[in-house]
Amino acid sequence: QSALTQPASVSGSPGQSITISCTGTSSDVGSYNLVSWYQQHPGKAPKLMIYEVSKRPSGVSNRFSGSKSGNTASLTISGLQAEDEADYYCCSYAGSSILYVFGTGTKVTVL
Amino acid sequence: EVQLVESGGGLVQPGGSLRLSCAASGFTFSSYEMNWVRQAPGKGLEWVSYISSSGSTIYYADSVKGRFTISRDNAKNSLYLQMNSLRAEDTAVYYCARGLTLVPWGQGTLVTVSS
């Protein structure tokens, strides 16, 4: 099971919107609506931002939204803020005996 | 407050063993599946292992199958990862994470495999 493909970096100015893609296969992203997104600041544990493709846990800003089309999931951050600068990882349930596959990670830079 | 606290990390020689623990509090531990996820220095996240709430169903990543053993003690609200035949590529911060949505995560414990 290969890692999901994410762009290495995405940047934007404060207030702008950015979108991070997460491309998998028909065996993971394409088969299950169980894609989640995690935010990780340096030296910190990952924090769940989106689960089940588009659901937001309580306490997560509504500036974060998720979607999926075919084998590609996406995370959109609107109204970009300095605190959004972090690494972001997607994760998909992959079924069978390899339960989860993570994305390669995307570094978001706020210009 | 839901909390997960990992412990047991450290420096070990290649071929050695280590046992990680994850102490859970603030929720009914016996009702949740649990996972171990790791992150090598400067690298991305990698799912390592899963155990069902009762411990009857277990899965491993191919990279650790046959070397690592996940277990739990619901009476002690604790999750474990026995790591044997450790390799340099097992060097990572190891996190425990609750449930199918992997939330929350503990703060992690660093395992360094080096001679």
- Kindly tell me if the per-residue pLDDT of A2 is higher than 90: no
Query: Residues with Cβ < 8 Å from B5, sequence gap 6 or more?
Result: B22, B23, B25, B106, B107
Q: What is the pLDDT of residue B103?
A: 85
Q: Which of A76-80, A91-95, B19-23, B62-66 has the lowest mean pLDDT?
A: A91-95
CB environment B59-94: b (16+ within 10 A), e (fewer): bbbeebeeebebebebeebbbbbebeebeeebbbbb
B107 lies within 8 A of chain A by CB? yes
A88 lies within 8 A of chain B by CB? no
The answer to whether B46 touches B37, Cβ cutoff 8 Å, is yes
- Kindly tell me if the per-residue pLDDT of A97 is higher than 80: no
**Could you report the per-residue pLDDT of B59-114, keeping only the tens digit for each?**
999 999 999 999 999 999 999 999 999 999 999 999 999 998 888 899 999 999 99
Q: What is the pLDDT of residue A35?
A: 95
Name the token pair of A100.
Answer: 């989860």
CA distance B83 to chain A (A): 19
Average pLDDT (B2-29) is 97
Of A47, A48, A99, the CB nearest to B47: A99
A60 lies within 8 A of chain B by CB? no
**Could you report the per-residue pLDDT of A40-73, keeping only the tens digit for each?**
999 898 899 999 999 999 899 999 999 999 999 9
Average pLDDT (B47-53) is 96
Q: Which amino acid is at A50?
A: I
Q: Which amino acid is at A96?
A: S
Q: What is the pLDDT of residue A7?
A: 98
Residue A96: pLDDT band with limits 50, 70, 90:
confident
Residues of A in contact with B103 (CB under 8 A): 48, 51, 57
Q: What DSSP assignment string belongs to chain B?
A: --EEEEE--EEE-TT--EEEEEEEESS-GGGS-EEEEEE-TTS-EEEEEEE-SSS--EEE-TTTTTTEEEEEEGGGTEEEEEE-S--GGG-EEEEEEETTTT-SB---EEEEE--
**ω before B104 within 30° of 0 (cis)?**
yes
d(CA A32, CA A35): 7
Residues of A in contact with B106 (CB under 8 A): 45
The answer to whether B44 touches A103, Cβ cutoff 8 Å, is yes
Residues of A in contact with B50 (CB under 8 A): 99-100
Query: Residues with Cβ < 8 Å from B17, sequence gap 6 or more?
Result: B82, B83, B84, B85, B86
Q: What is the pLDDT of residue B114?
A: 96
Which among B52, A6, B113, B55 is positioned nearest to B38, based on CA atoms?
A: B113
